[in-house]
Amino acid sequence: MTLSVEERNAILFHRVQKAKDTLHEAKGNIELGFWTTAANRLYYACYYMAGALLIKNGYFAHTHSGVIRLLGQHFISEGIISKELGKFYSQLFELRQTGDYDDWRIIEESDVQVLVKPAEDFIKTVEEIILS
């Protein structure tokens, strides 16, 4: 996919803002006790920020696992993003998958509350990398 610098910057700005808005949505769902939706929104907040980082650096993923792979290949293995945050992002993806597709697994408050701070850290770290 070939994008002009202006197009890439527009998408980048949109994704960063979408990540922040989605994090806010997640917190609202936590306040309401909608744990599955909150986990979904936490994941997508991180996903949008990860996508912004990839786009800024000229990488394009067509799937969620593609984002994980490119993030690992170009940012985690290079030490730009910590392995802990990389592992967190993968675990958040798995929880989102479980919440969205596993009829027998209930996402509970205890599953979600521990994810808020790492999600905030992930978003902050990736935004700092984008701005550097």
Could you give the domains of the chain?
Answer: 5-131 (1.20.120.330)
Structure tokens given for 90: 């993968």
CB distance 2 to 79 below 8 Å: no
- Which sign does the torsion angle of CA 101, 113, 61, 12 carry? positive
Structure tokens given for 115: 């994810």
What pLDDT band is residue 1 in, cutting at 50, 70 and 90?
low
pTM over 0.85: yes
From 122, 124, 121, 119, select the one nearest 42 (Cα to Cα): 119
CB-count burial class (<10 Å; 0-12, 13-18, 19+) for 46: buried
**CB neighbour list of residue 51: distance below 8 Å, 6 or more residues apart:** 15, 61, 67
Which tens digits make up the pLDDT trace of 4-47? 889 889 999 999 999 999 999 999 999 999 999 999 999 999 99
Q: What span, in angstroms and rounded, lies between the C-alpha atoms of 69 and 115?
A: 21
Which tens digits make up the pLDDT trace of 43-71? 999 999 999 999 999 999 999 999 999 99
